[in-house]
Structure 1
Amino acid sequence: MDEDIMRMPDQYSTEVGENGISLSGGQQQRVAIARAMIIDPYILILDDALSAVDAETEKNILSAVRKDSSEKILIISASRISSVVDADEILVFSKGKIVERGSHRQLLENNGYYAKTFHQQELASQLENSKEGD
């Protein structure tokens, strides 16, 4: 977020929001995560907090959050499986009930909903990357 802030008219003193400049959805998410990290919570819950950022930004944010949260509890609710592949335990919900549970590797081996969704998202990502390369 620092690079974005440094490009703003008054850098860290720039007013944002209703009377200031508008932030994109991804910028808003990054600011919210930064605010949460600053207070150094023992438990950090990210509720689809990376849905508006690109894959590379997601990877960088998760790496930083994990590094800073090594002795803490991190709970991530996500639609994109890439957000949770490194989790110790993944819970897959359907209609409010846990339908699958395990590590990324275990869930892929089970070949259930998680595995099917993972492969669909991987294919979509590959197709998107190939379009960008054209």
Structure 2
Amino acid sequence: MAGAERFTILPYPAHYMAFIAEATDAQGQAETPGVARTVSDPDNVEAEFAIIVRSDLKGRGLGRLLFECLIEHARSRGIQRLIGFVLRENRRMLKLSTGMGLKADPTEPPASGLRRMVLELRASTRPSCSSV
């Protein structure tokens, strides 16, 4: 698969999931202000997440909404743990992650420049993604 196909065609069974926020700009053109993705292992024990929100829309709740969708999806698939790697200087994403219940992995070496953030889904309760 090449180009956009690899982002829009998901293999079955879907170990990959993407939530894409869509909007219409002032000229009536479609735009994508944010995307959130997960990739789970074949046994659904752990899924890695990634979230991106357009710079001018950060801090308005879109990242939180996309995160809620990822968590709800992971729970519905029976995934036990959601993980993500966040740059240590990305304070906004670290704050969002901890606000969503993720914990920094204390075994991650500080020299890596990344924080491994972990959410144990069995022990957590989070709001529903029903508004999407």
Shorter-normalised TM-score: what interval? 0.3 to 0.5
Larger relative contact order (Cα-Cα within 8 Å, sequence gap ≥ 6): 2
TM-score by length of 2: 0.40
Name the TM-score, length of structure 1 as normaliser.
0.39
**Structure of higher CA gyration radius:** 1
